[in-house]
Amino acid sequence: MTTDSYRSFTSGSPTERSSEEIRQDISRGEENITKAMEQIGERIKEKLDWREYVMESPYLAVGIAAGLGFLASRMLVPRTTPMERIMGSVAEEVRCSLDHMRGSSQGPGLLKVALVGFTTKAAANWLKKQTS
Protein backbone atom coordinates (compact mmCIF):
# COMPACT_ATOMS: atom_id res chain seq x y z
CA MET A 1 0.00 0.00 0.00
CA THR A 2 1.43 3.39 -0.96
CA THR A 3 1.45 6.43 1.29
CA ASP A 4 -1.21 8.24 -0.77
CA SER A 5 -3.62 5.33 -0.72
CA TYR A 6 -3.13 4.92 3.05
CA ARG A 7 -4.04 8.57 3.63
CA SER A 8 -7.13 8.31 1.48
CA PHE A 9 -8.19 5.12 3.27
CA THR A 10 -7.83 6.53 6.80
CA SER A 11 -9.08 10.03 6.16
CA GLY A 12 -12.28 9.10 4.33
CA SER A 13 -15.56 9.69 6.15
CA PRO A 14 -17.48 6.53 5.02
CA THR A 15 -15.04 4.23 6.84
CA GLU A 16 -15.21 6.06 10.15
CA ARG A 17 -17.47 4.52 12.77
CA SER A 18 -19.03 5.96 15.85
CA SER A 19 -18.08 4.78 19.33
CA GLU A 20 -21.56 3.27 19.72
CA GLU A 21 -21.05 1.08 16.64
CA ILE A 22 -17.68 -0.05 18.00
CA ARG A 23 -19.28 -0.94 21.36
CA GLN A 24 -22.00 -2.93 19.59
CA ASP A 25 -19.38 -4.80 17.57
CA ILE A 26 -17.46 -5.59 20.75
CA SER A 27 -20.60 -6.85 22.53
CA ARG A 28 -21.48 -9.01 19.50
CA GLY A 29 -17.93 -10.38 19.52
CA GLU A 30 -18.23 -11.18 23.22
CA GLU A 31 -21.53 -12.99 22.63
CA ASN A 32 -20.00 -14.99 19.78
CA ILE A 33 -17.02 -15.93 21.93
CA THR A 34 -19.31 -16.94 24.81
CA LYS A 35 -21.40 -19.14 22.52
CA ALA A 36 -18.29 -20.73 21.03
CA MET A 37 -16.89 -21.46 24.51
CA GLU A 38 -20.19 -23.05 25.58
CA GLN A 39 -20.18 -25.25 22.46
CA ILE A 40 -16.58 -26.29 23.08
CA GLY A 41 -17.43 -27.10 26.71
CA GLU A 42 -20.36 -29.28 25.62
CA ARG A 43 -18.19 -31.13 23.09
CA ILE A 44 -15.55 -31.79 25.73
CA LYS A 45 -18.20 -33.13 28.12
CA GLU A 46 -19.54 -35.43 25.39
CA LYS A 47 -16.06 -36.76 24.59
CA LEU A 48 -15.19 -37.41 28.25
CA ASP A 49 -18.49 -39.11 29.11
CA TRP A 50 -17.46 -42.72 29.80
CA ARG A 51 -21.07 -43.91 29.90
CA GLU A 52 -21.40 -43.32 26.17
CA TYR A 53 -18.34 -45.46 25.44
CA VAL A 54 -19.66 -48.25 27.66
CA MET A 55 -23.04 -48.21 25.91
CA GLU A 56 -21.35 -48.34 22.50
CA SER A 57 -19.04 -51.27 23.33
CA PRO A 58 -19.88 -53.02 26.61
CA TYR A 59 -17.65 -56.06 26.03
CA LEU A 60 -14.60 -53.89 25.55
CA ALA A 61 -15.47 -51.95 28.71
CA VAL A 62 -15.79 -55.17 30.74
CA GLY A 63 -12.46 -56.40 29.36
CA ILE A 64 -10.71 -53.16 30.24
CA ALA A 65 -12.23 -53.19 33.74
CA ALA A 66 -11.11 -56.80 34.28
CA GLY A 67 -7.60 -55.99 33.08
CA LEU A 68 -7.31 -52.98 35.36
CA GLY A 69 -8.63 -55.02 38.27
CA PHE A 70 -6.07 -57.73 37.60
CA LEU A 71 -3.23 -55.21 37.46
CA ALA A 72 -4.38 -53.53 40.66
CA SER A 73 -4.62 -56.86 42.47
CA ARG A 74 -1.11 -57.82 41.36
CA MET A 75 0.22 -54.54 42.70
CA LEU A 76 -1.52 -54.84 46.08
CA VAL A 77 -0.96 -58.52 46.90
CA PRO A 78 2.46 -59.31 48.39
CA ARG A 79 4.41 -61.77 46.29
CA THR A 80 5.56 -64.94 48.01
CA THR A 81 7.57 -67.83 46.73
CA PRO A 82 6.29 -71.41 46.97
CA MET A 83 8.91 -72.11 49.65
CA GLU A 84 7.61 -69.23 51.77
CA ARG A 85 4.06 -70.57 51.45
CA ILE A 86 5.14 -74.08 52.49
CA MET A 87 7.10 -72.75 55.45
CA GLY A 88 4.14 -70.63 56.51
CA SER A 89 1.86 -73.66 56.48
CA VAL A 90 4.37 -75.75 58.44
CA ALA A 91 4.82 -72.98 60.99
CA GLU A 92 1.05 -72.67 61.43
CA GLU A 93 0.70 -76.42 62.00
CA VAL A 94 3.49 -76.39 64.56
CA ARG A 95 1.89 -73.48 66.40
CA CYS A 96 -1.44 -75.28 66.54
CA SER A 97 0.09 -78.52 67.79
CA LEU A 98 2.21 -76.68 70.37
CA ASP A 99 -0.82 -74.83 71.69
CA HIS A 100 -2.70 -78.12 71.96
CA MET A 101 0.18 -79.86 73.78
CA ARG A 102 0.70 -77.06 76.26
CA GLY A 103 -2.88 -77.02 77.40
CA SER A 104 -3.45 -80.77 77.59
CA SER A 105 -0.47 -82.14 79.50
CA GLN A 106 2.13 -81.26 82.12
CA GLY A 107 5.60 -82.79 82.56
CA PRO A 108 6.04 -85.32 79.73
CA GLY A 109 4.36 -82.82 77.36
CA LEU A 110 7.52 -80.73 77.45
CA LEU A 111 9.45 -83.63 75.96
CA LYS A 112 6.82 -84.01 73.22
CA VAL A 113 7.02 -80.30 72.44
CA ALA A 114 10.80 -80.45 72.19
CA LEU A 115 10.66 -83.48 69.89
CA VAL A 116 8.05 -81.87 67.65
CA GLY A 117 10.20 -78.72 67.48
CA PHE A 118 13.34 -80.65 66.52
CA THR A 119 11.43 -82.73 63.99
CA THR A 120 9.87 -79.64 62.44
CA LYS A 121 13.24 -77.90 62.23
CA ALA A 122 14.77 -80.98 60.57
CA ALA A 123 11.88 -81.21 58.11
CA ALA A 124 12.16 -77.52 57.26
CA ASN A 125 15.90 -77.82 56.65
CA TRP A 126 15.37 -80.91 54.49
CA LEU A 127 12.70 -79.09 52.41
CA LYS A 128 14.96 -76.09 52.02
CA LYS A 129 17.84 -78.27 50.75
CA GLN A 130 15.56 -80.16 48.37
CA THR A 131 14.21 -76.97 46.78
CA SER A 132 17.61 -75.24 46.46
The residues spanned by each domain of the chain are 18-77, 80-132
pLDDT of residue 28: 92
Answer for the pair 119, 75: CB distance below 8 angstroms, yes or no.
no
Tell me the chain's radius of gyration from C-alpha atoms.
Answer: 41
The whole-number pLDDT of residue 107 equals 55
- Alpha-carbon dihedral of residues 120, 122, 124, 127, nearest 10 degrees? -140
- Express each pLDDT in 62-71 by its tens digit: 999 999 998 8
Low-confidence ranges of the chain (pLDDT < 70): 1-15, 100-109
The region, left, alpha or beta by phi > 0 then psi within -120 to 50, assigned to residue 107 is left
Residue 7's pLDDT is 47
Give the length of the chain. Answer: 132
